Amino acid sequence: MINDINEISPDLVVITGDLTDFGYVFEYEEAKRYIDEIECERKVVVPGNHDARNLGYLLFEEFFGKRLKTLKYKNITVVGVDSSEPDIDEGHIGREKYEYIEESFNGENFKIFALHHHLLPVPMCGRERNVPVDAGDVLELLDRLKVDLVLCGHRHVPWVWRLNNMIILNAGTTCTNRTKGRIGRSYNLIELDEGMRIYRISPTGERNMVIDEKRRMEVR
């Protein structure tokens, strides 16, 4: 996967969490070693529920920087938030972060919001759980701010929803064998220019287009 990504040579890499199993320091060290092998200057990494276990949220900041962050590149703004809470699996963004999110997304940029937990239920997951407890308010906020793309993970199921004008893209899992049924492993490749194309890529290199559309904002 790392070799394939390096071959693609992306402008931005977003990793939506669960870098570790229990948030231990040796796990963070190993995750950091792998992520450092991805040859990209601009990485947005946010923690998942596993990473917040056992004081892992403190180690996360040591290894990957702030848990709430903004990256601007060309006319793209990426806002990454920590949706985890220590030692529980439930998701939560928290209203104290809404103002930061709003300020970070000001202006007419192509807007990407990244978090670990799935903001909408994902199929093939059995009984629904761990959608952030404030998902409704966060979706309203993102919609109002004209966010173009939401990147999330957690459920190990690749999926895409369109909600109003937002694309909500759930990543599958790339590096764990914890795949459901025969869904298999994957990561997403997003191409932005005058439109947006999203491909789902498997470890064997198989590439499936899942989105191909014009967006309101051209990325220059």
Binding site for Fe ion (CB under 5 A): 18, 48-49, 154
Q: CB of residue 17 vs Fe ion: minimum separation in angstroms?
A: 6
Burial class (CB in 10 A: 0-12, 13-18, 19+), 119: buried
Q: Which is nearer to Fe ion, 109 or 170 (CB)?
A: 170
Q: CB of residue 120 vs Fe ion: minimum separation in angstroms?
A: 15
Q: CB of residue 213 vs Fe ion: minimum separation in angstroms?
A: 28
Please report the sign of the dihedral spanned by the C-alpha atoms of residue 63, residue 61, residue 178, residue 26.
positive
CA pair distance 7, 37, nearest whole angstrom: 12
Q: Which is nearer to Fe ion, 152 or 198 (CB)?
A: 152
Q: Which is nearer to Fe ion, 27 or 148 (CB)?
A: 27
Q: CB of residue 49 vs Fe ion: minimum separation in angstroms?
A: 4
CA pair distance 73, 118, nearest whole angstrom: 25
CA pair distance 171, 187, nearest whole angstrom: 6
Q: CB of residue 116 vs Fe ion: minimum separation in angstroms?
A: 6
Q: Which is nearer to Fe ion, 51 or 148 (CB)?
A: 51
CA atoms within 13 A on the CB side of 107: 10
Q: Which is nearer to Fe ion, 153 or 196 (CB)?
A: 153
Residue nearest to Fe ion (CB): 154
Short-list 192, 176, 193, CA closest to 184 = 176
